[in-house]
Amino acid sequence: MNIPDLTGRTAVVTGANSGIGLPTALELALHGAHVFVACRSPERGNAAVAQIRKRASSTRVEYVPLDLADLASVRDLAKTLVDRLDRIDILVNNAGVGMISRQVTTDGFEKQLGTNHLGHFALTGLLLPLLVAGPGARVVTVSSDNHAEGEIDFDDLQAERKYGRNSSYARSKLANLLFTLELQRRADGAGVDLVSVASDPGTTATNIGALPRVMSLMMRLFLQSADKGAIPSLYAATSPEARGGEFYGPGPKRMTPSPKALDEAVAARLWDVSENLTGVRFAALDHFTP
């Protein structure tokens, strides 16, 4: 795909130390963007920065600490960036966990929902002042085609009564897509120039799941590479053809969200619940009228 010149643009990519996040950050840097590699491990984050700098010949790549399973860490990163930057042009909500045994985040949320959705919801809201400071900022949230298998059960949102590794992952990916579409609706309703887009990398060999070593090796042999898996996110983040409220998958091509993801009543309720759980409000969208 053709990525335009991104000189003068600032991008934040979560989980950019590995998986599809690393080639996403690399390509943004190769095309001139100032890229922040946001992830938990300083060792892995700085290693990713060094790797990107070797390829991109740029010093405008930085590691910043972020643990999406800890809202205090999310707030710390947001404060750091708000204090340093005038605007953010691209936010790629990429990091995630999947297919793990039931665990909870620092704040007591079921970990797949808490990391994949609530952490990114809070981060986007806290960075919103920087995202709306310039025209046409992109918020790309990585979902999956298996969002169609997810269910948003507001009576058991944290899966305390019923938990499944796959079903809870699918629920978090459905939440990602509901958030993406609702963010675009609210931005449009408030007259805010913001583009919210979802992407699906397709079946890609990454380290998102807690898989046995043999299975991980088989995945790397038979599934597409992380470089290819990053293409939908890069298209959503940079292409002049990408449109807000759309969902792009391998190709890249436009995908049709499931009816569950298009349920505006569920999206609005999930938004309200997410605000209450995280304590983060999107003040720039206060003039939104459902």
Burial status of residue 165 (CB atoms within 10 A of its CB: 0-12, 13-18, 19 or more) = middle
Q: What does the CA dihedral 9, 12, 17, 18 come to, rounded to 10 degrees?
A: -90
**Could you tell me what percent of the chain has a pLDDT over 90?**
87
Please write the tens of the pLDDT for every residue from 40-52.
999 999 999 999 9
Return the minimum-mean-pLDDT range out of 24-28, 215-219, 222-226, 276-280.
215-219
pTM score of the predicted model: 0.92
Please write the tens of the pLDDT for every residue from 119-134.
999 999 999 999 999 9
> Has residue 205 got a pLDDT over 60?
no
Dig out the tokens for 113 from the structure: 């929902």
> Has residue 219 got a pLDDT over 60?
no
| Active site annotation includes 169 | yes
Q: What is the mean pLDDT of residues 141-170?
A: 97
Distances (CA, A) of 32 to 17, 56, 75, 112, 132: 19, 8, 27, 33, 21
pLDDT of residue 221: 46
pLDDT of residue 182: 98
| Given 63, 169, 235, 248, the catalytic residue | 169
- pLDDT band with cut points at 50, 70 and 90 for residue 58: low
Rounded CA-CA distance 131/284 in Å is 10
